[in-house]
Amino acid sequence: MSDLAERLLNGDKRALARGISLVEDDDPAGWALVKAVYPKTGNASVVGFTGPPGAGKSTLIGALIRVQRAAERDVAVLSIDPSSPFRGGALLGDRIRLTEHFLDPGVFIRSMATRGALGGLAEASLQAALLMDAAGKDDVFLETVGVGQAEVDVIDHADSVVLVLIPGSGDSIQALKAGVMEIPDIIVVNKSDHPLADTMVREIRGVLALAPQEGWRVPILKTEASRGEGIEALAEKLNEHRAFVEAEGTLSERRRRNLMAEVLGIATMRLRRALEASLERDTEVQALLDEVVARRMDPASAASAILARGAVDPGAAAREDVAD
């Protein structure tokens, strides 16, 4: 095992930061690090926070960190930010978010750029969460970029999903209608001092009543994160949900689904990269694309022809990404 892996497993924050940077940069050393520490993962409680922009997810997480730290739990936060159009890095940084916890040795905070990834989470987010888990964190909080209805892939990364909404917002009302309402285990109406907070709670209850009433009943909590109100109740509900999925045996099912989705995601990413590389050097593929541009062949037929030729070597992508 490498020195970096040993330091990470011993809880070294610098080693964890270095490991996440390697994974985010798609460095072979990062994949080798994940491979080395993976058997030590699976202990952290991974919670995803999703919801429209401005709902107060960061403030809510900050307040929840205070509660978890009071319970002597080590916490890691992975905030997925929009990518800078100039440098590709996180547009918002971890020093801007959650500043009161930045110097707490029991809290690790990291921002990660989406780099164009759809669904609210960066491609390397689960790999980063695995490293946080291996480093001994009790809780790993994943905060999505806050793009609204598209960010449903948080369910493929978390043991529990919290949907954060705010009253009086058109985005929140749209979220009631979107597929995102199908994924939360807990719903939080933040900024609950708003006069329309109770109305929103009733609307959400009405939407949830349309779903099959089986298993876990999704609770609706009112919070005022900036003042720390309702946060202890949220921590209790997260504990209850964790206990429920463990007792029902669905935690292992969730994690199996999450890991299968990650395997498929990595395979898809490598196949796409291999295909892009083949397009640059394969004259026959270029000829097919020319036919599409000239409107003599449709895109779907061209794609089928490329796949039928076996133009992509998936093994090449894997050999580039994985260190022996």
Whether residues 144 and 236 share a domain: the answer is yes
Are residues 224 and 278 part of one domain?
Answer: no
Q: What is the pLDDT of residue 83?
A: 44
**How much is the average pLDDT of 313-323?**
49
When computed from its CA atoms, the radius of gyration of the chain, rounded to whole angstroms, is 22
Q: Clarify whether residues 219 and 297 are in a common domain.
A: no
Return the top range by mean pLDDT from 14-28, 256-270, 297-311: 14-28
Same domain, 269 and 242: no
Establish if 170 belongs to a structural domain: yes
> Could you report the per-residue pLDDT of 74-94, keeping only the tens digit for each?
999 998 765 443 444 444 444
Mean pLDDT, residues 308-318: 58
Closest residue by Cα to residue 187 from 150, 254, 238, 247: 238
Which of 248, 280, 308 is the endpoint of a domain? 248
Task: Give the integer Cα–Cα distance in Å for 17 and 7.
Answer: 11
What's the pLDDT at 41?
A: 93
pLDDT category, 145, cuts 50, 70, 90? low
Triad 225, 228, 230: Cα angle to 5°: 80
pLDDT tens, residue by residue, 123-143: 678 888 999 999 999 999 998
- 146 and 230: one domain? yes
Same domain, 180 and 263: no
The four Cα atoms 112, 77, 133, 30 give a dihedral, to 10 degrees, of: 20
pLDDT for residue 177: 57
Is residue 253 in some structural domain?
A: no
The answer on 193 and 112 residing in a single domain is yes
Total number of domains in the chain = 2
Owning domain of residue 305:
259-321
CA angle 102, 135, 68 (to 5 degrees): 50
Indicate whether this model's pTM tops 0.85.
Answer: no
**Do 135 and 162 have their domain in common?**
yes
Over residues 193-201, the mean pLDDT reads 88
Residue 63 and residue 185 in one domain: yes
